[in-house]
Structure 1
Amino acid sequence: MRQITDTILMVRPVAFRMNEQTAVNNYFQKQLEGEDINALATKEFDEFVEKLRSVGVNVIVVDDREKDNTPDSIFPNNWVSFHENGNVGLFPMFAENRRKERRMEYFAKLEEAGFKIANIVDYTAAEEDDLFLEGTGSLLLDRVNQKAYCAISPRADEELLIEFCEDFEFTPVIFNAYQSVGDKRLPIYHTNVMMCLGEEFAVICLDTIDNKSEKKNVIKHLKDDGKEIISISEKQMHEFAGNMLQVQGAEGKKYLVMSARAHRSLTKDQIASIEKHCEILSSEIQTIETCGGGSARCMMAEVFLPKAN
C-alpha cells in the first residue's frame, strides 16, 4: 500500500464564494467584499496547479459548471476518496448546496486518463437521516497501517465512520478536536485542518484534543507506526498549518504541499523537521482560504486507483 500518490484530481471553480451553508460550523470562513471573488480564486487555483505540475505531479483538472452554483466545488476531497483496489468512496455532505459537487462524469475523465474504477461504495443515503462523513476532510487515512483518524463533528458521524472502516478495512482512531471561538471551545469541522499524515511524519495540533486519554491514544497510534510528530499551535492551525498533503513528483521526489500562509506560520524548527522528510511546496491561495475556510489539502483529491491494463 502507498501513503502518497503522484496523481491529484482538482476542480476549477466557476461560482466560488463564501458558502453561507457551511459557515454555520466552519469558523475559518470570512466574507470578502467588493472583489470578483471567483476570478481571484481561479487565478490562485491555476497558479497552484502550475506549481504542482512544475515538479512533476500529475494534476487532472476538471471544470465546475455554472448552472450548479456550487461555491465549494474547489474542495473535492470532501465528497470522494479513491483507493488502490479500484474502490471509490462517495460521501454524504452537510451542506445541501455541496451535494451537487458529486459528478460522475469526473470518474469518466479518470478512466480516460487510464485509471480503473472497480466499485463505488456510496454512503450518500445517510444525508436523508442528517448524518454526514465528509471524505478525506473528515477522515485522515493512514493507508499503509490501515487506520482512519477522525475528529467527531457535525460533519463526521461516528457510526458512519465505523461503517466506512468496516467496508474499507481501516481501524478507526476516534477523538474530539476543538478550537477556541470567542470564549467557547467548539468542534473543529474537519480533521484535516488540525492534522496531516505523511509517510514518516504527522503534523498535528495536539492542543485541539482536550481530552487527555484521547490525546494519548492518538499519540500512541502515531508513535507505534513510527511517525515523527511535528506539533503545531492552535494559532498556526488557524493559519491552515494543519491543512497539508504530502505528494510525489517527478523521479519519486516527495513534497509537502501547503499554502503560503501556512508556510509563513511555521517556525524554523518545524520547517527543519519537515525538510528531513521532503521538500515544502507552497502557493498563495489567500482568497480561497479566507472565503472557503479550507486550504491546500482540501483542494486535492488524491487518486490511488490502479491503472487499467
Structure 2
Amino acid sequence: MQAPAAVVMVRPHHFHPNPETAADNAYQRSSGAPPTELARRAHAEVTEAAARIAQAGVRVHLFDDTSAPGQPGTPDSVFPNNWFSTHAGGHVALYPMYAPSRRRERRHDIIEQLKAQYRVQEVVDYSGLEQDGVFLEGTGAMVLDHIGRVAYTAQSHRANPVALERFCTHFQYEPLVFATADAAGQPCYHTNVMLCIGTGFAMGGFHMVSDAARRREVQERLWESGRTVIDLSPEQIGDFAANALELQGTAGPVLALSARAAASLTPAQRQAVEQHATLLPLAVPTIELAGGSVRCMLAGIHLAPRLGMQATQPPAAEFQTILAPSA
C-alpha cells in the first residue's frame, strides 16, 4: 500500500530551473551551462532513471514533455507528483499549483492513459482553487502515510490549509501540519524535501520542525506506526536525502533516490534503510538544479490494474513510453 509498483515519469525537452519558483525554493540553483545543454542532460538523466527503475521491476509510464520552443513552457514538467496523485479504490486528485507555468503541466492525456490501464472511479479536481489564490501541490506539499492515513504537511503558501482540509476530508487522511525553518529561517517549500515515509522506515530532517513539542509529536507518530525513524542532518537534507520514494519491485522494495542523496547517508543510516528496502541510486544532478530530486520525479500509481494488464507487463528491462505528438 505504501510503496507503489508503478510510476508516471515525464521526460523534459526544454528543462531549466524555473525563475517563477526560485524565490521560495532554497534548493534551486542556477547553472552556467547553455540552455540547450541543460535540456540535453536532463533528457538523458530521466531516460536513464526510467530504465533503471524499470530494471528493478517497477512499471514505468514514461511520457514526453509536450511543450515547444517559442510557446509558454513547462520547465518543471519533470516533477509530475505535484499536479496529480492516485489512491487505492480508484481515486485520482488534481491539484492547484502556485506558479502559473506549473499549471500548464496538468495533462488530460496522462489521466486518460491511467483510466485506460487502471480502474479509476473518480477524478477529484481541486485546480479551480487557483483562481482564489489557494494552492496544494500534491505529494510535494503532503507526504502521505497511506497505511496510517496521515498527511504530514509543512506549512507554506504551497500547502493552503483550506485545500488541505478538503483533500483530507475527501480522501480520509488526518492532517498533521507543522511549521518548518531552515538555517536561514525560511520555511521548507515542499514537505517531501524534508520527509520520506516508507513501509517500515521514515527519514526526516526533524530539526526543521520549528516547535519542539510538534517535532516530538511527528516523530512519535512515525514511531507508533512501527517504523524505524532515521534523523537526517541539514547537510543531508541539502543533498536531497529525504527526497526519496519507496517502490515495489519484482525482487522486493527499493528506495529510489539520487546518487547524491545515497552518498550522503552514513553507514548506519544505509544499514537501517536496507533492513526494509534496497537502495536504488539514480544520477540526476541536472534535474536537482531545479530544487527537486528523485521523489519529485515520480508520481506513484496506487490504482488497481485493469483485467489483463498484469498479464501483459513488459519485461523488467523495458518500460512503456508515451511519445509526444510530432511537432
Interval of TM-score (by shorter of Structure 1 and Structure 2): over 0.9
What amino acid does structure 1 have at the position aligned with 2:296? Answer: C
> CA shift at 1:110, angstroms?
2.0
Task: Report the Cα distance in structure 2 between the residues aligned to 1:130 and 1:16, rounded to whole angstroms.
Answer: 26
Query: Partner of 2:316 in structure 1?
Result: none
Task: Report the Cα distance in structure 2 between the residues aligned to 1:220 and 1:237, rounded to whole angstroms.
Answer: 20
5+ residue gaps in structure 1? none
Identical counterparts, % of pairs? 37
Query: Partner of 2:201 in structure 1?
Result: 201
- Verify: 1:159 aligned to 2:162, yes or no: yes
Query: Partner of 2:312 in structure 1?
Result: none
Task: Report the Cα distance in structure 1 between the residues aligned to 2:22 and 2:160, rounded to whole angstroms.
Answer: 19
Map residues 28-107 of structure 1 onto 2, 5 A cutoff: 28-35=27-34, 36-67=37-68, 68-107=72-111
CA RMSD, Structure 1 to Structure 2 (Å): 1.0
> CA shift at 1:295, angstroms?
0.1
> CA shift at 1:122, angstroms?
1.1
> CA shift at 1:269, angstroms?
0.7
Task: Report the Cα distance in structure 2 between the residues aligned to 1:109 and 1:38, rounded to whole angstroms.
Answer: 26
Task: Report the Cα distance in structure 2 between the residues aligned to 1:8 and 1:92, rounded to whole angstroms.
Answer: 21
Of residues 87, 112, 117, the one that matches 2:120 is 117
Task: Report the Cα distance in structure 2 between the residues aligned to 1:130 and 1:43, rounded to whole angstroms.
Answer: 35
In the comparison of the two structures, how many residue pairs are matched? Answer: 302
1:48-96 superposed Cα distances (whole Å, 9 cap, x missing partner): 1111011111000011112351000000000000011111110010100
Map residues 98-247 of structure 1 onto 2, 5 A cutoff: 98-112=102-116, 114-180=117-183, 184-247=184-247
Task: Report the Cα distance in structure 1 between the residues aligned to 2:52 and 2:305, rounded to whole angstroms.
Answer: 25
Task: Report the Cα distance in structure 1 between the residues aligned to 2:170 and 2:73, rounded to whole angstroms.
Answer: 32
- Verify: 1:298 aligned to 2:296, yes or no: yes
5+ residue gaps in structure 2? 308-327
> CA shift at 1:111, angstroms?
3.0
Query: Partner of 1:4 in structure 2?
Result: 3
> CA shift at 1:15, angstroms?
1.6
1:145-196 superposed Cα distances (whole Å, 9 cap, x missing partner): 111100011111122111110010001111112112xxx3000000000000
What amino acid does structure 1 have at the position aligned with 2:110? Answer: Y
> CA shift at 1:248, angstroms?
0.8
> CA shift at 1:34, angstroms?
2.8
What amino acid does structure 2 have at the position aligned with 1:59? Answer: V
Three-state SS of the structure 2 residue aligned to 1:222 is helix
Three-state SS of the structure 2 residue aligned to 1:179 is coil
Task: Report the Cα distance in structure 1 between the residues aligned to 2:176 and 2:12, rounded to whole angstroms.
Answer: 33
Task: Report the Cα distance in structure 1 between the residues aligned to 2:187 and 2:24, rounded to whole angstroms.
Answer: 8
